[in-house]
Amino acid sequence: MLTQVESHLAAQIQNKYHPQVLQDSHQAGSSAPRMFTPPYLSPYDPNIDSITVQQSDSLGLAMQRGMTAAGMKGVG
């Protein structure tokens, strides 16, 4: 859904540089998680190698464990 300028520019950057790690930031209300980390919900982009998805999931779970251990709230 490339209806927003931000989405269109993000897609251009991803297609040009093919980043291995991407932090996708969104704002949310006070009753929802404030930071989203991998593993993200499927379906994944079929152009992303499955090994990259698995490594991203591992990285995200490590981030969640660290932030939870530090007492940070709002991580999902």
Query: How confident is residue 64, by pLDDT bands cut at 50, 70 and 90?
Result: confident
End-to-end CA distance of the chain: 23
CA 9 to chain centre: 17
pTM value is 0.56
Q: Which residues pair with residue 75 across a beta bridge?
A: 35
Q: What is the pLDDT of residues 11-63, one digit of tens each?
A: 898 889 888 776 666 566 677 666 778 888 888 888 788 888 899 899 889 98
Can you tell me whether residue 72 is helix, strand or coil?
coil
Residue 2's CB is within 10 A of a number of other CB atoms, namely 11
Given a contact cutoff of 8 angstroms between Cβ atoms, the answer to whether 76 and 38 are in contact is no
